[in-house]
Structure 1
């Protein structure tokens, strides 16, 4: 079967360079030229080049959500981005390097070609970028025209979360900074993700692979105790405004313990589920090494290799987590949100915040019921504020 073909047109702009910035991207059907997805976002203060790269990433993600096997023709009026992503120009600027690296994780290079087009042939993406900047300077985020904000969540669910900016909800009001994870006033009100790993299950102390394709274990007695200690700590801190959880049983139990104490509801986010470990589910590392030595070595050597019998690699997980992050950021802009998840998703959120390479996930330790915190700012930057904190368990 011939692979489906998409055309991505992306653009970004900054009114001041650096200044108030935004991006726009459209995905077209390669045969008909019809627009099948749009994305746009105001990203705060940034340069033209940063905005252009973010527009590229949004377009790639939107296309991936429609068909990850598609062949892509990316067309941009930025000579810099086209030449750098094509590999003909070196990427020297430190702001560009992590963005280019992120763009390359969405699709294999063999599926993407880059072409320069004059600005007059990139009018749709340019229009969206300007709409996003207009919206941002008016104190709100961009919304797709003709789509009521009240229905945005339903559209996002139906579309599987193509991109946060495609179906962003109206959240224009921002509260004063909360106590707890302090926020720098000169950078505006950040959105804070407090990342809580679930409590122990029977598999945790045995260090067995426990992903989204296994037995879905519940919390052990110790795990339930850990969840209650976390709930006490968050209640004392008083800054969490929403609770979002992976759909797995162990994360829901942990999230529900905290939410009860805080008087909040738990929102389930499918994108926060653990990696599917396939045939490795329930095995220890040593057992996997004995039964699937070549597969394990390949997996450790490349983020694009999947565990034996799995349909998901760490690169695929990274893509899923990136889309999930953007969707949650759009929903809870300016708020402090507790995300209850698993080792691999939390490590990936931390890695992406740091702009670290894929193998950085192997250099992090996350204990059961540990807490991390990441803040996201309007200029597109992120700051890791806490890693593997277990003080509430002592």
Structure 2
């Protein structure tokens, strides 16, 4: 049994993941049940792109734990899965050797204190609800969309201090920041925090012209001014002396910016695909005025909804949020307790700031991020996040 919770409440989390190809198109599903009645009080599912069964199973576990945490972070949790691998590894009886599994297991352990969680294997036929959701997520991905709950979300009454939106609890538990709880998480008397210092890349030839420059365009290099900006950022970050790792988007302009800082700090650059800029499709290389003239209806739809896509694009702000949230979680798991420089673009950085604040999706349209500007968010092990810096350009003056 899991350790006793403060208020005696108990949840059962059933989770599953699948891959059609292993690796192949993958998704996960998870349900949270009331421990006394067995009633389902929250669901979570997501299509995660190409992955293995084991990765999908771990992501299902994380989503289930987070959904339970949003309802009541003081509850005890009995996790039940038909994956013997995940159950044995999370119980500490088997070693986790695969590099893809290690950060996911570490992330799962940060959701609840270990004393509040237990793990048990169940036969596949007793895990039908989680399996159903995982298949729904994969079916949605095959259709080019993300999973959405069917019908009205199931109610889950909780004390007012821990209340969360049923839509948030069901639809996006893996990405949206949990509702802040009273107090912070402490270990040994000190708060456990991981800091992401986010640096937008320096200018390219397209930046001063305010042209759309995403992940499917010309992939421009830094201009002379952009290289100067990267050097100034490197000087400022070296002077602070707190950065312990550097992670970058794969785009040329971000890699050049990251390498300038990493060289000064004596650190390697780790590439994270999920940090790339939004795909702007047919808008790549165009100014806002040119897009307004050529694709007025698509532009208006895009500005009105974060679920709309630029003309010919493969993704919306909503789908970008999915991959950026996954990238964030991987970084937090890999560098827990450290200060990490994340070199990225306007859209991913705005999204990370929005998620940290718990702001609505359209908040991304209300932020200004200058070239080579710095933002910083501190993430705590209890799920809270604190915005510490936004669009700082002091090092460029």
Q: Is the 8 A contact 2:107 2:329 kept in 1?
A: no
SS at match of 2:231: helix
Aligned residues: 291
| Residues 156-176 of structure 1: per-residue CA shift (max 9 Å, x gap) | 8xxxxxxx52586999xxxxx
Stretches of structure 1 that go unaligned for 5 or more consecutive residues are 1-12, 41-47, 68-73, 83-94, 100-118, 133-141, 157-163, 172-182
Paired with 2:235 and 2:259, the residues of 1 have a C-alpha distance of: 13
SS at match of 1:325: helix
Shift of the 66–167 alpha-carbon distance from structure 1 to 2, 3 Å rule, reads: farther
Q: 2:48 aligns with which of 46, 50, 64?
A: 64
> Which residue in the other structure is 1:348 paired with?
351
SS at match of 2:279: coil
Displacement after TM superposition at 1:390 (Å): 0.5
SS at match of 1:123: strand
SS at match of 1:201: coil
> Which residue in the other structure is 2:175 paired with?
none
SS at match of 2:297: helix
Q: Is the 8 A contact 1:190 1:376 kept in 2?
A: yes
> Which residue in the other structure is 2:81 paired with?
124
Paired with 2:106 and 2:333, the residues of 1 have a C-alpha distance of: 9
Displacement after TM superposition at 1:65 (Å): 3.5
Displacement after TM superposition at 1:392 (Å): 0.7
> Which residue in the other structure is 1:374 paired with?
377
| Residues 334-362 of structure 1: per-residue CA shift (max 9 Å, x gap) | 00000000000000000011111110001
> Which residue in the other structure is 2:200 paired with?
197
Q: Is the 8 A contact 2:310 2:316 kept in 1?
A: yes
Displacement after TM superposition at 1:124 (Å): 2.3
Q: Would you say 1:300 and 2:303 are equivalent positions? A: yes
Paired with 1:360 and 1:25, the residues of 2 have a C-alpha distance of: 34
Q: Is the 8 A contact 2:375 2:392 kept in 1?
A: yes
Q: Is the 8 A contact 2:374 2:391 kept in 1?
A: yes
Paired with 1:14 and 1:127, the residues of 2 have a C-alpha distance of: 22
Q: 2:99 aligns with which of 145, 152, 158?
A: 152
Q: Is the 8 A contact 2:199 2:374 kept in 1?
A: yes
Structure 1 runs (4+) deviating above 4 angstroms are: 21-25, 28-31, 36-40, 53-57, 125-132, 142-147, 166-171, 183-187
Q: Is the 8 A contact 2:248 2:255 kept in 1?
A: yes
Q: What is the alpha-carbon root mean square deviation over aligned residues?
A: 4.3
Displacement after TM superposition at 1:188 (Å): 1.4
Displacement after TM superposition at 1:28 (Å): 5.0
| Residues 237-285 of structure 1: per-residue CA shift (max 9 Å, x gap) | 0000000000000000000000000000000000000000000000011
Displacement after TM superposition at 1:56 (Å): 5.0
Paired with 1:388 and 1:193, the residues of 2 have a C-alpha distance of: 14
Displacement after TM superposition at 1:26 (Å): 2.3
Displacement after TM superposition at 1:64 (Å): 3.4
Paired with 2:194 and 2:272, the residues of 1 have a C-alpha distance of: 17
Shift of the 169–331 alpha-carbon distance from structure 1 to 2, 3 Å rule, reads: farther
Paired with 1:260 and 1:390, the residues of 2 have a C-alpha distance of: 21
SS at match of 2:323: helix
Q: Is the 8 A contact 2:16 2:81 kept in 1?
A: no
Paired with 1:376 and 1:331, the residues of 2 have a C-alpha distance of: 13
Q: Would you say 1:26 and 2:15 are equivalent positions? A: yes
Displacement after TM superposition at 1:305 (Å): 1.0
Q: Would you say 1:16 and 2:5 are equivalent positions? A: yes
Q: Is the 8 A contact 1:272 1:321 kept in 2?
A: yes
> Which residue in the other structure is 1:9 paired with?
none
Paired with 1:337 and 1:195, the residues of 2 have a C-alpha distance of: 8
> Which residue in the other structure is 2:245 paired with?
242
Displacement after TM superposition at 1:18 (Å): 7.3
> Which residue in the other structure is 1:165 paired with?
104
Q: Is the 8 A contact 1:26 1:37 kept in 2?
A: no
TM-score scaled by length of structure 2: 0.63
SS at match of 2:99: helix
Q: 1:291 aligns with which of 294, 304, 308?
A: 294
Shift of the 29–349 alpha-carbon distance from structure 1 to 2, 3 Å rule, reads: closer
> Which residue in the other structure is 2:269 paired with?
266
Paired with 2:218 and 2:263, the residues of 1 have a C-alpha distance of: 26
| Residues 311-369 of structure 1: per-residue CA shift (max 9 Å, x gap) | 11110000001111111111000000000000000000000111111100011110000
> Which residue in the other structure is 1:227 paired with?
230
Displacement after TM superposition at 1:218 (Å): 0.3
